[in-house]
Amino acid sequence: EAQVTQNPRYLITVTGKKLTVTCSQNMNHEYMSWYRQDPGLGLRQIYYSMNVEVTDKGDVPEGYKVSRKEKRNFPLILESPSPNQTSLYFCASRRGRSYEKLFFGSGTQLSVL
Amino acid sequence: DAKTTQPTSMDCAEGRAANLPCNHSTISGNEYVYWYRQIHSQGPQYIIHGLKNNETNEMASLIITEDRKSSTLILPHATLRDTAVYYCIVSNFGANSKLTFGKGITLSVRP
């Protein structure tokens, strides 16, 4: 089944403790992206990647890192999480053409205490 | 990208057609209209998209006015599982392909 898989689904952590949220897609998609969703603010893009080894900042990249060493994986790294990064996170992917539809993962609910 | 305006909420009876409107009066010639939906806190799900012509797929129909300033998403036979937030998005999809999600419209399907 074609899908975008995120792990974990829920994560509770403390301020400053480094964490990684994994994202993997099995559709051989070139493009991958991370969004965060907060009440009243909608979905905002954090980072995106047009292909392997090509990443760029979205609208809210501060406090996050990403890497794209393999086509299928696009992990989101929080080196020193803070409470304002408590949010619902979504990974998405699509084929290379810009008008293609996005496939989203099921989400990761992160709470930073 | 052009901005969209949607009602905050609407409801419809199960089994009836749900017609969800969207205004995008500043849309430009190379911008597509996309519809996604989000059920509770799940990941957004693509429904349909179009440029000028009306489109239909297994989930819904998209009717775009001739001047392209508004569109309507039609769910022909709404079910309780269609209760969700529906997002109308206009984008010319530059290289980033960033989708700007607004507040969307909350559709409640009642038994």
Interface of A with B (CB under 8 A): 4, 31, 33, 42-43, 45, 48, 50, 56, 58-59, 88, 90, 92, 94, 98-107, 109
pLDDT at B95 over 70: no
**Residue with structure tokens 């309507």?**
B72
pLDDT of residue A105 exceeding 80: yes
Q: pLDDT of B13-52, one tens digit each? A: 999 999 999 999 999 888 899 999 999 889 999 999 999 9
Residues A65-73: contacts with CB under 8 Å, at least 24 apart: A66/A34, A68/A32, A71/A28, A71/A29, A71/A30, A72/A24, A72/A25, A72/A26, A72/A28, A73/A22, A73/A23, A73/A24
Is A43–B99 a contact, with Cβ atoms under 8 angstroms apart? yes
pLDDT of A15 > 80? The answer is yes
Contact B37, B60 (CB under 8 A): no
Q: Cα(A89)–Cα(B48) distance, rounded to whole angstroms?
A: 23
Rounded to an integer, what is the distance from CA B30 to the centroid of its chain?
A: 18
**What's the mean pLDDT in A57-62?**
94
**B16 SS3 class:** coil
